């Protein structure tokens, strides 16, 4: 029986120790600052340097997806031993990454590759990828792994706060949250992902109240069911710690995954993003 190998992209924001532990292959997207030099997300530039340049030095960044050739090289290498590949990526409504992966699949003659649009990003994608890799590591067939992935895509929930919609608007990822544009500075947008796009949920005055409201909404959505959970932040470790402490007695989970939003996600959310992602077990 051939093995099933899992490929994703750097927008999954998975901690490196989990990538290594579960043999996940990550193809990085790229970030460009004003000098135009391509920087591979998580390889050439880490989150700390990225947010320093963005927030403290005032540099503007933009992003681009991996090329089909980059994916094709990865697929060729991983399939050389006869393994099957499941390649799971950021929402196609947000990025051309899935399209590049699909072209690469056609370029990789003889390889068994399935490309999946997760319809989410950051640790929404990360949790799906992590669980797919765990199931694949148990020796399940490709069909079983794909069935599990599709169930997770249909049940994953992603909620987050941003300090401003400026970055989402600048990058064209604002989706229906455009309705919140123009709010006064003290208003913090509470957003979520649905159908692959950023959607507006509520406007809350002040960050402390926004965090409290985020905790309340997720508590109601998750209920008492057992969940897999992740907390994500972009240059706000104190905010994430506050949210973790608030949620610990409210949610039914074991060990949450703590993650930092990388350079690509940070380009579109800006510094100060704070999110909570969960999937029912």
Using an 8 Å Cβ cutoff, are 198 and 175 in contact?
yes
CA distance 87 to 105: 10
Tell whether domain 4-29+65-155 is in CATH 3.40.50.970. no
- The helix (H) or strand (E) run that includes residue 32 is strand 30-32
pTM comes to 0.93
User: What are the residue boundaries of the structural domains of the chain, listed by start?
Assistant: 4-29+65-155, 157-280
For the domain made up of 157-280, the CATH class stated in words is alpha beta
Q: Do domains 4-29+65-155 and 157-280 have the same CATH topology?
A: no
- Could you read off the pLDDT of 90-104 as tens digits, one per residue? 999 999 999 999 999
Look at the alpha carbons of 183, 187, 189, 190 in this order and tell me if their dihedral is positive or negative. negative
CA dist 273 to 48, 143, 155, 189, 206, Å? 14, 36, 22, 10, 14
Tokens 């799971």 belong to: 88
Nearest Cα to Cα of residue 51 among 234, 248, 246: 234
Strands of 4-9's sheet in order across: 25-27, 4-9, 84-89, 113-117
Q: What is the pLDDT along the chain (281 residues), one digit of tens a residue?
A: 469 999 999 999 999 999 999 999 999 999 999 889 999 999 999 999 999 999 888 889 999 999 999 999 999 999 999 999 999 999 999 999 999 999 999 999 999 999 999 999 999 999 999 999 999 999 999 999 999 999 999 999 999 999 877 777 775 555 554 545 555 557 788 999 998 998 889 888 888 999 999 999 999 999 999 999 999 999 899 999 999 999 999 999 999 999 999 999 999 998 999 999 999 98
- pLDDT tens readout for residues 78-127: 999 999 999 999 999 999 999 999 999 999 999 999 999 999 999 999 99
Q: Is the dihedral of CA 216, 221, 226, 228 positive or negative?
A: negative
């Amino acid at each position: 029986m051939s093995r099933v190998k899992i490929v994703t992209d750097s927008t999954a924001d998975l901690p490196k120790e989990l990538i290594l532990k579960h043999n996940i292959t990550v193809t990085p997207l790229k970030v460009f600052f004003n000098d135009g030099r391509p920087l591979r997300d998580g390889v050439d530039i880490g989150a700390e340097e990225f947010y320093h340049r963005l927030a403290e030095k005032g540099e503007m960044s933009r992003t681009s997806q991996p090329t089909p050739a980059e994916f094709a090289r990865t697929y060729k290498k991983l399939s050389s031993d006869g393994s099957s590949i499941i390649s799971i990526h950021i929402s196609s409504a947000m990025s051309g990454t899935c399209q590049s992966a699909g072209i690469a699949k056609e370029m990789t003659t003889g390889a068994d590759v399935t490309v999946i649009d997760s319809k989410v990003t950051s640790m929404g994608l990360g949790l799906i990828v992590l669980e797919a890799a765990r199931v694949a590591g148990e020796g399940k067939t490709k069909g079983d792994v794909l069935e599990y992935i599709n169930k997770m895509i249909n049940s994953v929930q992603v909620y987050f706060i941003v300090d401003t919609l400026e970055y989402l608007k600048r990058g064209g990822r604002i989706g229906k949250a455009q309705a919140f544009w123009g709010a006064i500075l003290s208003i913090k947008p509470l957003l979520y992902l649905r159908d692959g796009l950023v959607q507006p949920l509520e406007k809350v005055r002040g960050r402390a109240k926004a965090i409290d409201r985020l905790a309340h909404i997720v508590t109601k959505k998750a209920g008492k069911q057992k969940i897999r959970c992740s907390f994500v932040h972009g240059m706000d470790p104190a905010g994430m710690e506050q949210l973790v402490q608030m949620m610990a007695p409210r949610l039914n989970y074991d060990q949450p995954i703590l993650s930092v939003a990388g350079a690509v996600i940070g380009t579109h959310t800006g510094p100060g993003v704070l999110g909570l992602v969960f999937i029912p077990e």
